[in-house]
Structure 1
Amino acid sequence: MATVIRSSDFTADKAWGAQQIANMNGITTRLHWTDQPYKWHVNEGEEVFVVLSGCVEMKYRQNGEELTALLNSGDIFYASIGTEHIAQPHGEARILVVETEGSV
């Protein structure tokens, strides 16, 4: 079965609401909508975070230092196992997240 998803039309009832797109052997792909920050967290596995629309300030800790990257539409953030991070959108954002099933 094939599916077409128009990410620009997707919204959710709450910040970080998600539409499940696929689960490929325990690796999930979800489309998120948000207008609020997430929380500092560490995923159990790797994470790929793709900004589809909007602007997201990604803060992360690496070697004891807090770093910041401003992600715009089309930008990708990769978090390896153990990378503590927080996503803070500037207004509305739609984000594609690929990660291990059950990750925070």
Structure 2
Amino acid sequence: MKVVRSKTFTAPRAWGALDIAELDGTSVRLHWTDQPYRWHVNDGAEVFAVLDGAVDMHYREGGVEHVAHLATGDVFFADVGCEHVAHPVGEARILVVEKAGSV
């Protein structure tokens, strides 16, 4: 049994994470950040849920860049091959569910 109080979680560096669980090759991690990540493509699908704060999720479709503003409670799904980068607006806490070992 584990209880995670996401609102109080911080990390010593941007995108620091707390490993919550690994479920049949899928990792569930809580991230804290106040800095953008980097453009990347995961080798599996990814679920990105904003638990606290806000994030501008930049993604490319057909070579065109789009931005989705994600508020607390919003979820972004990146399927295999979706190029994306998260830009927090201030501090944010994000639950990420993805293939274990993904970037």
SS of the equivalent of 1:8 reads: helix
Residue of structure 2 in register with 1:38 after alignment: 37
SS of the equivalent of 2:7 reads: helix
TM-score under structure 1 length normalisation: 0.98
TM alignment of 1:1-104, pairs within 5 A: 2-104=1-103
CA distance in 2 between partners of 1:62 and 1:48 (Å)? 18
Corresponding letter in the other structure for 1:9: T
Residue ranges of structure 1 left out of the alignment (5+ in a row): none
SS of the equivalent of 1:23 reads: strand
Corresponding pairs, count: 103
- How big is each residue's C-alpha offset from its partner over 1:60-79, in whole Å with a ceiling of 9 and x where there is no partner? 00122111100000000000
CA distance in 2 between partners of 1:33 and 1:49 (Å)? 13
Q: What is the Cα-based RMSD across aligned positions, in Å?
A: 0.4
Tell me which stretches of 4 or more aligned residues in structure 1 moved more than 6 Å.
Answer: none
Residue ranges of structure 2 left out of the alignment (5+ in a row): none
Indicate the percent of aligned positions where both proteins have the same amino acid.
60
Corresponding letter in the other structure for 2:38: K
CA distance in 2 between partners of 1:28 and 1:61 (Å)? 24
Corresponding letter in the other structure for 1:40: W
- How big is each residue's C-alpha offset from its partner over 1:30-59, in whole Å with a ceiling of 9 and x where there is no partner? 000000000000000000000001010000
